[in-house]
Amino acid sequence: MKRAALYCRVSTLDQNPETQLRELRQFAGQRGFQVAKEYVDRGVSGTKARRPGLDRMLEDARRRRFDVVLVWAFDRMARSVRHFLEVLDELNHLGIEFVSFRESVDTSGPLGRAMVVIVSAIAELERNLIVERVRAGMRRARAEGRQIGRAPFRVDRGQVVRDRLSGMTLTQVARRHSISRASVCRLVRESGFAPPAAIPCGAQLSAEAR
């Protein structure tokens, strides 16, 4: 019975790697593999070549602690063809097979290895095309004079300060100018018209100031 290493990666901390691991465990059972160890990288981008889980997996591979690596998809291992092939070459040199669940491809034969190269190259090309389309859209928006990203903070700072110093509460000033109370407090303090202690803010706000 072949010993299998399961590797999964999720890009953000709020994603659950168990989704990938559950399917990989079932897949390993169907193929007759014994799961030797599971390696997880959580909240790590696939563009990074050095990852704790991947590094541990490769270290154990060099110690011949498993015979095959199972991943949920190619892009879980790497997002660039170059890095992907570097990992694949090392596993191949160690005599360890590589199997992708989603693409249904393994490297046990020359055809499987060729398919890995082709599919990973297409995936990288698709990502590059998406990036270029986004950049082209941003260039077109700039040429047309459209706003890109968050709109600039526009408010009559002087009027905010005058309203606050006139006796209006933070809530009243904030509603009048459609900004937060914290922004009101900051603008007043930055104006220099009143010492910080004279303008309560945050946890120091009294019931009347609110």
Which CATH number fits the domain that encloses residue 87?
3.40.50.1390
Q: Residues 68, 117: one domain?
A: yes
Q: Residues 189, 121: one domain?
A: no
Domain boundary among 126, 141, 173: 126
108 band by pLDDT with thresholds 50, 70 and 90? low
Which of 95-109, 119-133, 195-209 comes out lowest in average pLDDT?
195-209
pLDDT average, residue stretch 163-172: 89
29 band by pLDDT with thresholds 50, 70 and 90? very high
Residue 132 is assigned to a structural domain of this protein: no
Domain holding 187, by residue range, is 157-204
Residue 148 is assigned to a structural domain of this protein: no
pLDDT average, residue stretch 103-132: 72
pLDDT surpassing 80 at residue 115: no
Q: How far apart are CA 77 and CA 125, in angstroms?
A: 17
119 band by pLDDT with thresholds 50, 70 and 90? low
Domain boundary among 126, 145, 177: 126
Residue 209 is assigned to a structural domain of this protein: no
Q: Residues 107, 68: one domain?
A: yes
| Residue ranges in 7-148 assigned as alpha helix (H) | 18-31, 52-62, 74-77, 81-93, 110-143
pLDDT surpassing 70 at residue 194: no
User: Highest-confidence range of 59-73, 115-129, 132-146, by mean pLDDT?
Assistant: 59-73
pLDDT average, residue stretch 155-171: 87
Q: Residues 105, 24: one domain?
A: yes
Does the pTM surpass 0.85? The reply is: no
Query: Between 14 and 164, whose confidence is greater?
Result: 164
Q: Residues 164, 99: one domain?
A: no
Q: Of the candidates 44, 49, 5, which has an alpha carbon nearest to the alpha carbon of residue 27?
A: 5
Is 187 in contact with 193 (CB distance < 8 Å)? Answer: no
Report DSSP state, residue 109. S
Query: Between 204 and 123, whose confidence is greater?
Result: 123
Instruction: Determine which one of 11, 80, 166, 191 is catalytic.
Output: 11
How is the beta sheet containing 34-42 ordered, strand by strand? 34-42, 3-10, 68-71, 97-100, 105-106
pLDDT surpassing 50 at residue 138: yes
- Catalytic residue status for 80: no
Q: Of the candidates 84, 101, 89, which has an alpha carbon nearest to the alpha carbon of residue 6?
A: 101
Report DSSP state, residue 151. P
Give how many domains the chain has, as a whole number: 2
Residue 199 is assigned to a structural domain of this protein: yes
Q: Residues 117, 185: one domain?
A: no
Q: Residues 122, 166: one domain?
A: no
